[in-house]
């Protein structure tokens, strides 16, 4: 089995520096529902622009790159031990390249591991399957939105929730209402009904791997999802809690069997920075979030900017050298003039040297400014701001 470490690194880069198409579309639709010029409209607009600029620069869309949650479905042609090594290695590589912020903190000592690797970090869930091939899904779950997640044990008299669908509905509304803007709204709400405390929360997170525009295969849950997506907007919390017509992008509900004594409802809140990506290997074909990956092309732009920077550096060095030479020759002339302490010729020479010095210094300044301008131009060229939708549909390359 060949190492998938570089492919997982690319999955992390891609996931950290952008949003899936369905999420971007949902944000754009939410923006278009708002009044242009309103706070809600410009907040959505900034979110979208932020994602596009981050995609172009391969930089994280948010400073919190979150908890890394990997779901790995592997066929008989893959070894889970090797996959774990590759994923952990790729996480370390991604942290070095600043695709990820160092986010793994020892809960007892408070020490940051510095590479996102620690006890239980990253989280990797393995699922063996009979067919060959590999699918790795990645979710990056921000801390702020994780903090506003909630678990309810029904019945819960404080919100009037019994052990039925209406009780589930009340739990979801209560969680979103309490979150206000703190989870970086608009949120997408993953819900796990049933299970035990752990698996109920797991179910709620797994729901967040679904597309925003999909439909629940269970008609009862599909109807509840639709109804809640509609009614939660009435809370008016809006993007980042600034008020507006969109408080949630969607609600996704899954249910598990439970023991008769327990009825848990777990709510996981995903912020607007809804980062999820998928790597799939089928035979010799590799897909990143549904798009075929193509081999890397020579990075001409990078090479060109490197050459330009080198040229600028050389020009600056030459200018400094010349200026130094002129300075030293001036010194000599001045000494000669002092020793001889006479003659118009010497005075003339000194005068002409001073003029030469002035001219050379002027030329040096000119060249060094030109060199600096060249360098600045190079930097700008390396990170152009793209047109809005183009960046979101760009094919990923290794």
Residues that bind ligand SF4 (CB under 6 A): 62, 64, 66, 142-145, 183-184, 271-273
Q: Which is nearer to ligand SF4, 169 or 252 (CB)?
A: 252
- Round to whole Å and give the CA distance between 276 and 68: 10
DSSP codes, 13-74: HHHHT---HHHHHHHHHHHHHSPTTSHHHHHHHHHHHHHHHHHHHT--SSS---EEEEEEEE
Closest CA to 200 of 278, 255, 271: 255
Q: How far apart are the first and last CA of the chain?
A: 19
CB of 41 to ligand SF4, least distance (A): 18
Q: Which is nearer to ligand SF4, 142 or 167 (CB)?
A: 142
CB atoms within 10 A of CB 125: 13
Q: Which structure tokens are listed for 362?
A: 């002027």
- Round to whole Å and give the CA distance between 130 and 77: 10
Q: Is 280 helix (H, G, I), strand (E, B) or coil?
A: strand
* Beta bridge partners of residue 291, listed in sequence order: 288
Q: Which is nearer to ligand SF4, 142 or 250 (CB)?
A: 142
Q: Which residue is nearest to ligand SF4 (CB)?
A: 142
CB of 68 to ligand SF4, least distance (A): 12
Q: Which is nearer to ligand SF4, 183 or 195 (CB)?
A: 183
Q: Which structure tokens are listed for 142?
A: 């921000």
Q: Which is nearer to ligand SF4, 66 or 149 (CB)?
A: 66
CB of 273 to ligand SF4, least distance (A): 4
Q: Is 281 helix (H, G, I), strand (E, B) or coil?
A: strand
Contact 146, 68 (CB under 8 A): no
Q: Which is nearer to ligand SF4, 67 or 207 (CB)?
A: 67
CB of 171 to ligand SF4, least distance (A): 21
Closest CA to 118 of 132, 128, 108: 108
- Round to whole Å and give the CA distance between 64 and 272: 12
CB of 64 to ligand SF4, least distance (A): 4
Q: How far is CA 245 from CA 35, 67, 248, in A?
A: 10, 29, 9
Ordered alpha helix ranges (H), the chain: 5-16, 21-33, 39-57, 80-96, 143-147, 165-179, 197-207, 219-231, 300-340, 344-382, 388-392
Q: Which is nearer to ligand SF4, 271 or 337 (CB)?
A: 271
CB of 270 to ligand SF4, least distance (A): 8
Q: Which structure tokens are listed for 252?
A: 């996704």
Q: Is the dihedral of CA 195, 196, 199, 204 positive or negative?
A: positive
CB of 209 to ligand SF4, least distance (A): 17
Q: Which is nearer to ligand SF4, 80 or 143 (CB)?
A: 143
CB of 147 to ligand SF4, least distance (A): 8
Q: Which is nearer to ligand SF4, 19 or 171 (CB)?
A: 19
CB of 127 to ligand SF4, least distance (A): 26
Q: Which residue has the tokens 């400073």?
A: 63
Q: Which is nearer to ligand SF4, 184 or 316 (CB)?
A: 184
CB of 101 to ligand SF4, least distance (A): 10
């Amino acid at each position: 089995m060949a190492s998938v470490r570089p492919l997982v690194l690319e999955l992390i880069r891609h996931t950290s520096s952008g949003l899936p198409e369905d999420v971007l579309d949902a944000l754009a639709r939410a923006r278009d529902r708002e009044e242009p010029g309103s706070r809600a409209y410009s907040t959505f607009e900034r979110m979208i622009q932020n994602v596009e600029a981050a995609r172009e620069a391969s930089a994280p869309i948010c400073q919190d790159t979150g908890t890394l949650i990997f779901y790995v479905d592997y066929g008989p042609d893959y070894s889970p031990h090797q996959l774990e090594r590759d994923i952990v290695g790729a996480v370390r590589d991604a942290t070095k390249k600043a695709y990820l912020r160092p986010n793994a903190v020892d809960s007892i000592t408070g020490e940051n591991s510095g590479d996102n690797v620690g006890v239980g970090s990253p989280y990797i869930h393995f699922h063996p399957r009979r067919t060959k091939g590999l699918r790795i899904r990645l979710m990056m779950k921000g801390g702020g939105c994780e903090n506003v997640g909630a678990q309810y044990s029904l019945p819960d008299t404080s919100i009037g929730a019994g052990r039925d669908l209406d009780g589930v509905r009340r739990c979801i509304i209560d969680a979103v209402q309490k979150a206000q803007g703190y989870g970086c709204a608009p949120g997408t709400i993953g819900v796990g009904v049933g299970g035990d405390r752990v698996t109920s929360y797991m179910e709620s997170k797994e729901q967040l791997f679904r597309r925003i525009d999909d439909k629940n295969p269970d008609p009862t849950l599909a109807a509840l999802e639709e109804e809640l997506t509609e009614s939660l907007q009435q809370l008016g919390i809006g993007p980042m809690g600034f008020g507006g017509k969109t408080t949630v992008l969607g609600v996704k509900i899954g249910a598990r069997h439970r023991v008769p004594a327990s009825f848990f409802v777990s709510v996981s809140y995903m912020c607007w920075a809804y980062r999820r990506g998928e790597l799939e290997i089928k035979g010799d074909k590799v897909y990143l979030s549904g798009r075929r990956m193509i081999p890397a092309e020579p990075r001409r732009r990078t090479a060109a900017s490197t050459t330009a920077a080198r040229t600028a550096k050389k020009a600056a060095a030459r200018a400094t050298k010349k200026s130094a030479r002129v300075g030293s020759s001036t010194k000599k002339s001045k000494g000669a003039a002092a020793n001889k302490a006479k003659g118009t010729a010497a005075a003339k020479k000194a005068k002409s040297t001073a003029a030469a010095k002035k001219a050379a210094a002027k030329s040096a300044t000119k060249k060094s400014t030109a060199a600096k301008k060249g360098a600045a131009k190079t930097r700008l060229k390396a990170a152009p701001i793209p047109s809005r939708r183009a960046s979101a549909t760009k094919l990923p390359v290794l």
